[in-house]
Chain A
Amino acid sequence: MSTQTEPIQPTGVGDDLMVVARIPFRTRARIWVLTRFIPPIFMFIFAIGLLELISVTEVLPAIVTPSPLTVLETMGRQATTSFLWENMWVTLQEGLLGFLIGSAIGISLGVGVGVSTFIARAVYPFVVLIQSMPRVALAPVFVALLGFGQSAKVLTAVAICFFPPLINTIVGLRNFDSDALLLMRSLRASRWQVFRKLLLPGALPMIFGGLKTAMTFAILGAIVGELTAATEGIGSLIDIAAFQLRMDAVYGYILWMSIVSLGIFGFMDWVDKRVVFWRDDARKTRLTDQE
């Protein structure tokens, strides 16, 4: 290379880095904490303020925009009832069971597609079809099929959540290093050994990514199922409360469900970081652990 040209950079990015480079590490870490937490806190306060304003000025019908403080109060009351937790447990059971079944189906189908051209050819057209299908709309079908009990909700969860693990398993299994495959061949590894020692561990980061999405989808599926027709579960509580125009209760249930789900996703993340410890997270941690 004889001529050297300035690397083209999006405006602003380079300047920012130049400024950061002149700041000592300790200060930089402190700035990082500030820039990390100030924006979301600011946003949160802003949103609550806006909601309170809407509720006080009654620009929207007061009945659908309860004040955030009322919602908080309602949430406090809801938390002391066993009613909330029993129904939450129903929804979680459906969601988790749906997640387990859906992931098992997704991963095994994905493995099948990944290792066998025959299965790939057999399954692929349906994969594409199912992908383009509005799968939430299947909930009424499952209710018609299985009745009002929990099984219809589990099935809805399965239908919605099996897809990400399936696709991610297929993509993950194909995402191997070609030299590593040559190495395995030169070591005269069997097909099973290539799968077990190279392809499967190599696919784990993708598979776990799929599982995380599947967990979100499964709980979503369970609630959609309950909204369709149910006598128990968070979805049915929301349905009833909405019917009675108790919007503070609706928001309360939704928020409690979000908080519990957040815990579950946090747990999934925690497991992910331990199982797939080699996942390339260099970029994510670059600013924090330099030196």
Chain B
Amino acid sequence: MRREPERGVAGDVVEVRNVSKRFRKGDREFLALEGVDLRIREGEFVSLVGPSGCGKSTLLRMIGGLTPTTTGQVSVEGHVVDETHRDVALMFQAPTLFPWRTVLDNVLLPLEIDHRPTKDDVAKARALVSLVGLDEFVEHHPRELSGGMQQRVALSRVLVNDPRIMLLDEPFGALDEFTREALNVELADIVGRGKRTVVLVTHSVPEAVFLADRVVAMGTNPGRILGEIQVPFHRPREASLVRSSEFQDLTLEVRKLLGLE
């Protein structure tokens, strides 16, 4: 079941309205985000790009209900976010696996917190582990895996709850370029199968364009949205897409938005 871009039919699942975020640093206040408006449609894949410190992670955490907004409002599926939401799953830059749990048990964690895992749950977790190509390692512990493999386990763990909305904060940021590209193709493939809404934070413009339906460019001081670009390529996308001139043009546009060109 591949997702067709049925834009405009489905409603907005995420609505960020005039949001600002202020942090108190000692006795000084610091405006991390100001006047952020963002609407994300159901099934849409949005990339957030921007320089370090522009508030990408903060915005993601506010959508995930982990940090309150200072002013403005975030709604998910029509409800104002004031707590974490069961349809929303987060993935971090670091794999954040529990070293005392096997790969399988790490993937099962979200289900375990909800209820006592059933046989079906275990089967599902196993299926996800093999989906990311780690069959052999189900019973291994995280320290026996490479960084990329650990990040794939984290990806399975995000997927195990069948979240309708996935918030990915630089999930492959700490990895080398080869692993990263391979995992991005995998991610595009996996996400493309379900009707999932994804918000991905990244530093890499090509990565943002390759994965997303829409790229949102952000700037610093104060953190804000500079503009956005629609990405028209249909899915599934091949790795070779990166070399096409249309792709190059789009990345150039994003870089211009960011003030890099």
Contacts and interface: CB of A to CB of B under 8 A. Distances in A.
A186 B88 contact: yes
Given A180-B98, A193-B113, A278-B99, A185 B141 contact: no
A179 B112 CA distance: 19
A45 interface: no
Interface in B127-162: 141, 143, 161
Contacts of B88: 186
Contact of B92 (A179, A187, A197, A204): A179
B178 interface: no
A183 B84 contact: no
Q: Which of A177, A182, A197, A277 has the most CB of B within 10 A?
A: A182
A183 B86 contact: no
A112 interface: no
B100 A182 contact: no
Interface in A160-198: 177, 179-180, 182-189, 193, 197-198
Contacts of A197: 98, 109, 112-113
Interface residues of A, number: 18
Nearest to B142: A278
B89 interface: yes
Contacts of A177: 94, 96
A177 B93 CA distance: 13
Contacts of B84: 185-188
A186 B98 contact: no
B100 A278 contact: yes
Contact of A186 (B64, B99, B112, B143): B64
Interface string B75-101: 000000001101011101010101110
B229 interface: no
What secondary structure prevails in chain A residues at the interface with B? helix
Contact of A187 (B83, B98, B109, B141): B109
A182 B60 CA distance: 12
Interface in A127-186: 177, 179-180, 182-186
A231 to B, nearest CB: 47
A201 interface: yes
What secondary structure prevails in chain B residues at the interface with A? loop
B90 A189 contact: no
A185 B98 contact: no
A182 B154 CA distance: 14
B98 A201 contact: yes
A201 B113 contact: no
Nearest to A198: B98
B66 interface: yes
B68 interface: no
Contacts of A180: 96, 98
A201 B92 contact: no
Nearest to B83: A188
A188 B113 contact: yes
Interface in B150-208: 161
Interface string B12-26: 000000000000000
24 contacts: A179-B92, A180-B98, A182-B90, A183-B92, A183-B96, A185-B66, A185-B84, A186-B84, A187-B109, A187-B110, A187-B161, A188-B83, A188-B84, A188-B86, A189-B113, A193-B113, A197-B98, A197-B112, A197-B113, A198-B98, A204-B100, A278-B99, A278-B141, A278-B143
Interface of A: 177, 179-180, 182-189, 193, 197-198, 201, 204, 277-278
